Amino acid sequence: MHRITSFPLLAASLLAVALPVGALAADGNALAMARGPVTAMAGKAATTKVDKVFDEALRSQDPHLLTASGQRYENGVGVAQDVDKAIKLYCRAARMGDVDAQYRLGHIHAHGRGLKRDPELAAAWFAEAVKGRHRLASTQLKLLKVKADPKRKPSCGPTGGAETQIALRPHPASGEIAKLVHSLAPNYRLDPSLVLAVVEVESNFNPQARSPKDAQGLMQLIPATAERFGVADVWDPEQNLKGGMAYLRWLLDRFEGDLKLALAGYNAGEGAVEKHGGVPPFEETQAYVARILRRLGIEATEEKPEQETS
């Protein structure tokens, strides 16, 4: 179960910044989207300055607005230039099927500065944009000299397309829910064992679980979190997992890969983590974090495995 902080409405001026794709620079100063494997460091304070404009933009359910916001950050229009944030906005829009976002992701990986160029990943994103009939994507594929359909799938994961592995031992869950987690987790750059551990602790793999605080489904989303991450039917296992994974990914990005802080935020809300400068001094939250870390084999103390029901 978790609480969330509220955010102000996105400034209306954001709607006015839909830059044409052709006007964008060919080689923006791209930064790495992912900065190495997720680590489980304790006691790290949240020092990142809150960017409310970015946070509100990232919550948008409008793919065109997400892409326009990404263009703002990629080019520093009205905000500090930050291609790392641009990539996150583009990725969210691309997953919604926005072809301009798919094209921009291809462009960044093809012409990146500050991260290793990845022509194969670029080609995968351009090919995806071609499917949506983007007018420039096929030209970019020709420039990359890709003669056939790219074997690489478009991915928002770290460079190289690999998912982030953090568990020292794999989660033993099997069954339909586990299969679904393994198929979805790479889309959010999450270790499936981490997601399965969260599902186990939150709901014990019961899609109909409901808490006294109205946390619902496999990943125990409260209504505000479900709405925040676009979950229309919280009782649908796939939608619930997607919403929970999106929130967990957001928390990991927010706390720069600190797993303990992300888990604490999932349980108590990111506001509580920021207020206390670390894992909040709540018995429930501290036990929650410790239990998941034990399940992943990250902490030495062993916990007797619960019966798997997925």
Residues known to be catalytic = 202
Distance CA 196, CA 295 (A): 10
Which among 221, 207, 168, 159 has a CA at the least distance from the CA of 191? Answer: 168
SS3 per-residue string spanning the chain: CCCCCCCCCCCHHHHHCCCCHHHCCCCCCCCCCCCCCCECCCCCCCCCCCCHHHHHHHCCCCHHHHHHHHHHHHHCCCCCCCHHHHHHHHHHHHHCCCHHHHHHHHHHHHCCCCCCCCHHHHHHHHHHHHHCCCCCHHHHHHHCCCCCCCCCCCCCCCCCCCCCCCCCCCCCCCCHHHHHHHHHHHHHCCCHHHHHHHHHHHHCCCCCCECCCCCECCCCECHHHHHHCCCCCCCCHHHHHHHHHHHHHHHHHHCCCEHHHHHHHHHHCHHHHHHHCCCCCCHHHHHHHHHHHHHHCCCCCCCCCCCCCC
Distance CA 118, CA 156 (A): 12
Q: Would you mind telling me the total number of residues written for the chain in this entry?
A: 310
Is the torsion defined by CA of 248, 34, 45, 48 positive or negative? Answer: negative
